[in-house]
Chain A
Amino acid sequence: MGKNTVIKVEHLTKQYLLNKSLLPKSDTLYGSFLNGLRHVKNLSQKQQKEEFLALQDVSFEIERGDRVGIIGRNGAGKSTLLKILSRITPPTKGRIEYTGRMASLLEVGTGFHGDLSGRENIYLNGSILGMNKHEIDRKFDEIVAFSEIEKFIDTPVKRYSSGMYVRLAFAVAAHLEPDILIVDEVLAVGDAAFQKKCLGKMKDVSSSGRTILFVSHQMSAIQNLCDKCLYLKNGKVVDFGVSEKIIPQYLLSSQALNSIVLSDLVDRSGNGILKFLSIKYKDGNGSVITSAIAGSSLNIEFEILSSASSVLSNINITVGIDDEHAQRITQLNNNNTNQIFNQVLPGVFKVHINIPVLPFKGGRYTISLFASVNGDIADWIQEATVLDIESGDFFKTGRLPDEGQGSVYVDHNFSLLS
């Protein structure tokens, strides 16, 4: 290990075994009862496992004071890397050596309990993050001041507004004093003011010579904070170096991927007066993205070619979104929104769709495209392309919503009427 190296990662590999169930899943009580019996009967037989390499032979070294952004597409292995670095899960092969105290913030407010008061939660959360009682005592007033909840410090946190909750949770995390800080991007979503506070705090931390590892899809945040980047793809390191070099490399590859060419697709129907040429996904700031984040804004842009000889009217565009089980989740339809296009000139035109707050959970979705003119099908491509969505902080609470509780998020509010 070099003199200034704080983290040394050598040939890191993580393999997951996916259980391949030989028995079909059953929907009925009787069926699942039978399956239970079969399971017990088959206990002695070895289950077939499918191997999946989340990380393959990853090596890099980080020096003291480095601010490293970890970037890559959905499923590139970023989260797995963070989990191994923060000792939550062990590697299958390879080795990591680091010096100093490490703290990882994969979510804010881990272990917060609604029935406990703000004060009690500060002690609980602080000790979960690795602070001892003495440290928390010393920083208690600072934490309370930072969170701006002095008046409610002895109120159970379930009575807090979501904003107060996040502020308190982040205040505790912000007063950790680790030598190495690992931050997942969940922290960097939330409202703009919170993001700013969060990034500002991280900058403070790094200016005092500490090392930061930061995962994000937002290149602006990475550019702002990180001087080095680790670019992962399919569990392997593509490149590691200064941000100015790596970020353009990543953006280029993602642009190539994301301006998906539709004109070459042959499996389409319709009279061909209109033809989808390409589709692009952009975030709220208008930068091209490889995957959208749940809870944030998504813009979809199409290039469409009109090969009619005259101006077209009554153009209907429909985008169907299916989930992994080929279930139709929803349809974006300009007929529904009463925004049928008229007066479209021949040649290439662009259509832009905005979803202000993306309400779908993380995963891969399939996009089907449909265009009609005066009710005649002009172009129809089933399963034209995919849309990757990353889990995100939909409710702006600093935490990811629970997995496995449905596929759609609905904005809602609770209040207690006693």
Chain B
Amino acid sequence: MNTEKVIIDPTLSSFLSIKDVLRYKSLLNNLAKRDFLVRYKQAFAGIMWALVKPLINIIVFGYLSSKINNTTNTTTNFLYVASAMLLWQLFSNVFNDVSNSIIGNSNLFSKVYFPKIIIPLSTILVCMVDFLISLLILVVLFIISGQQIHWQIILAPFFIALTLINGFGIGLYFATINVKYRDVKFIVPVILQIGMFVSPVILPTLKYLGPLPEWLRCVFCLNPMVGAIDGFKYALFGGDAVYNIYYFVLSICVSILFLFIGVKYFYKFERNFVDYI
């Protein structure tokens, strides 16, 4: 007999508890496993599809970028775009999938209790697996081009984690709104579309911020993906990927702030989701 006492009352507001998440670890794994297995079931090419979309984006935007940049060093430019694009794709998948995760799994938590944060967390796992597969593209590109790797590469996992934090924080905020207002479904793709062009994906930060006045550059760097992408490029290529260290730190601070707001907002309404679904 388990003698743990549970109290249910209206004031009890839960908050992210690592203990709860660990207790439901096997649910977390099984949900991620389900999403991953189901995605490629009955698809002939199966997991190969995880490579196709990023590959096409890299080719199209890499070509576009070298035209706009008017650079002589096409190979390096391509590598820049490829690394930024993969990271952006990770952010885009996490953001989009997390924001849809709650309403997509309402059939579960309207019948059984478990910490609802498990659902978006499992979404991250799935996106991460896709990302790791797509990293193969980068590895191959590095080998073909003979690009050197520097000591900074050890920083790469940090910027990947930062990207996950960005997608998760903003995604949670939208997942919460999504419970009541399904408009989110239409808004998220628009944000992502605009977001890609105001992030240093196709052009390096310096390039597209160049013609802007100083204060506007600062505003652009409030975009949390600026820090993540520039940092990732620095980790892979070194050099001057980080355009301005202050703005870079500012962007990372915005990431942390978004995560905090997202989690806070999610937990404010989490207990009442069932009444609004």
The answer, yes or no, to whether A229 is at the interface (CB within 8 Å) is no
The answer to whether A98 and B6 touch across the interface, beta carbons within 8 angstroms, is yes
**CA–CA, A84 to B6, complex, Å?**
13
Question: Which stretch in B23-31, B53-61, B70-78, B137-145 binds the other chain?
Answer: B23-31
A99 contacts which chain B residues (CB < 8 A)? Answer: 2-6
Whether A98 contacts B34 in the complex (CB less than 8 A), given A88-B113, A106-B112, A115-B42, comes out as no
The answer to whether B112 and A104 touch across the interface, beta carbons within 8 angstroms, is yes
Whether A120 contacts B37 in the complex (CB less than 8 A), given A87-B113, A104-B113, comes out as yes
The answer to whether A130 and B111 touch across the interface, beta carbons within 8 angstroms, is no
**CA–CA, A133 to B26, complex, Å?**
6
The answer, yes or no, to whether A187 is at the interface (CB within 8 Å) is no
What is the interface size of chain A, counting residues whose CB is below 8 A from a CB of the partner? 43
The answer to whether A116 and B34 touch across the interface, beta carbons within 8 angstroms, is yes
B41 contacts which chain A residues (CB < 8 A)? Answer: 115, 156
**CA–CA, A91 to B11, complex, Å?**
9
Chain A: minimal CB distance from B114 (Å) = 7
The answer, yes or no, to whether B108 is at the interface (CB within 8 Å) is yes
A97 contacts which chain B residues (CB < 8 A)? Answer: 5-8
A369 contacts which chain B residues (CB < 8 A)? Answer: none
Question: Which stretch in B234-242, B250-258, B268-276 binds the other chain?
Answer: B268-276
The answer to whether A93 and B34 touch across the interface, beta carbons within 8 angstroms, is no
The answer to whether B275 and A92 touch across the interface, beta carbons within 8 angstroms, is no
**CA–CA, A48 to B195, complex, Å?**
37
B8, B110, B114: the one contacting A90 at CB < 8 Å is B8
Tally of contacts, chain A with chain B, CB under 8 A = 115
The answer, yes or no, to whether B214 is at the interface (CB within 8 Å) is no
Chain A: minimal CB distance from B271 (Å) = 5
The answer, yes or no, to whether B219 is at the interface (CB within 8 Å) is no
Chain B: minimal CB distance from A88 (Å) = 5
The answer to whether A101 and B26 touch across the interface, beta carbons within 8 angstroms, is no
The answer to whether A16 and B2 touch across the interface, beta carbons within 8 angstroms, is no
One digit per residue, 1 when the CB lies within 8 angstroms of any chain A CB and 0 when it does not, for chain B 1-39 equals 111111111101000000000001111011101100110
A88 contacts which chain B residues (CB < 8 A)? Answer: 109-113, 274
**CA–CA, A132 to B240, complex, Å?**
49
The answer to whether B7 and A96 touch across the interface, beta carbons within 8 angstroms, is yes
Question: Which stretch in A121-129, A193-201, A269-277 binds the other chain?
Answer: A121-129
A95, A96, A115, A128: the one contacting B27 at CB < 8 Å is A128
The answer to whether B109 and A127 touch across the interface, beta carbons within 8 angstroms, is no
Chain A: minimal CB distance from B156 (Å) = 31
**CA–CA, A307 to B66, complex, Å?**
98
The answer to whether A90 and B10 touch across the interface, beta carbons within 8 angstroms, is yes
The answer, yes or no, to whether B107 is at the interface (CB within 8 Å) is yes
What residue in chain B is nearest A125 (Cβ atoms)?
B30
The answer, yes or no, to whether A282 is at the interface (CB within 8 Å) is no
Sort chain B's interface into a size bin. 35 or more
Interface residues of B in 130-187 (CB under 8 A from A): none
**CA–CA, A123 to B28, complex, Å?**
12
Interface residues of A in 100-139 (CB under 8 A from B): 100-102, 104, 106-107, 110-111, 113, 115-116, 120, 123-124, 127-133, 136
B107 contacts which chain A residues (CB < 8 A)? Answer: 110-111
**CA–CA, A84 to B113, complex, Å?**
10
B1, B4, B112, B275: the one contacting A129 at CB < 8 Å is B112
Chain B: minimal CB distance from A184 (Å) = 9
Chain B: minimal CB distance from A6 (Å) = 10
The answer to whether A100 and B4 touch across the interface, beta carbons within 8 angstroms, is yes
Interface residues of A in 39-97 (CB under 8 A from B): 83-97
The answer to whether A124 and B4 touch across the interface, beta carbons within 8 angstroms, is no
Chain B: minimal CB distance from A192 (Å) = 25
A110 contacts which chain B residues (CB < 8 A)? Answer: 107-108, 111-112
A sample of 23 cross-chain residue pairs with beta-carbon separation below 8 angstroms, ordered by A number, consists of A16-B275, A83-B274, A88-B112, A88-B274, A90-B9, A90-B10, A99-B2, A100-B4, A111-B108, A113-B38, A115-B41, A116-B38, A120-B33, A123-B26, A124-B30, A127-B26, A127-B29, A127-B31, A128-B27, A129-B112, A133-B26, A136-B26, A179-B2
Q: Residues on A close to B: CB < 8 A?
A: 16, 83-102, 104, 106-107, 110-111, 113, 115-116, 120, 123-124, 127-133, 136, 156, 179, 209
Q: Residues on B close to A: CB < 8 A?
A: 1-10, 12, 24-27, 29-31, 33-34, 37-38, 41-42, 107-114, 271-272, 274-275
Closest 6 A/B residue pairs (Cβ): A87-B113, A127-B27, A96-B8, A95-B9, A133-B26, A127-B30
19 additional A-B pairs beyond A97-B6, A115-B41, A133-B26, beta carbons within 8 Å, are A87-B8, A88-B113, A89-B275, A90-B271, A91-B9, A94-B9, A96-B9, A98-B5, A99-B4, A100-B2, A111-B34, A111-B107, A111-B108, A111-B112, A123-B30, A127-B26, A128-B112, A130-B24, A131-B26
